[in-house]
Amino acid sequence: MSRCVTICPVGHVDDEIIKRLAERITSRCGLASQVSPGMENPKYAYNESRCQYNSKLILKRLIQDCPHATFRLIGVTQVDLYIPILTFVFGLAQIEGPCGVISMHRLYPEFYDQPSDFNFLMNRIEKTALHELGHTMGLTHCRDRRCVMHSSTRIEDTDFKQPNFCPTCFELFNWYLENSLP
């Protein structure tokens, strides 16, 4: 198994966003990254009563379709995600699982009546993807509010934290890499 993180568009996602996310994961984590052709719109996960998409169903499909040649897979979608016990989620991953999924829906500045800002959006996407990637590596939520592994229940949490792991989470991330199969 190679140590390559695959970025997978789920439904239509701008190619530039996917390309930049792959580059940022490589620069932050030192892992090779690649972009997969993508998956169809996740209609199978749509909940009419909530007008949202069940992130667990999308994650299940990603796990099922995850290429064996990838170390980790991060799905990126435009749709609004939820889990049954929460109003929404920015992303979801299985602890030490092969995949995670993030939603850009609530990461757009325009969602909060802020002016459009591509770089600001990319910073939010990067932090959210790194957070979910951390979960796939076995990391749980961190108490350090500046650490990318700190829980984001509000967009302000995402904006406050840095796009980096704190020293402890960084050490755990590297320990996992050293002790996982090649």
Place of tokens 């979960």: 135
Q: Among residues 23, 126, 132, 156, which one is catalytic?
A: 132
| pTM higher than the cut 0.85 | yes
Label residue 7 by pLDDT band (50, 70, 90). very high
pLDDT digits (tens, 9 = 90+) for 46-67: 999 999 999 999 999 998 887 7
Q: Is CATH 3.40.390.10 the classification given to domain 4-179?
A: yes
Tell me, yes or no, if 132 is annotated catalytic.
Answer: yes
pLDDT of residue 182: 55
Q: How far is CA 40 from CA 53, 55, 98, 111, 181, in A?
A: 14, 15, 20, 24, 31
* Sign of the torsion angle spanned by Cα atoms 20, 131, 152, 78: positive
Q: What would the two tokens of residue 24 be?
A: 């940022």
The number of beta carbons lying within 10 Å of the beta carbon of residue 173 is 21
Delimit the domains of the chain by residue range.
4-179
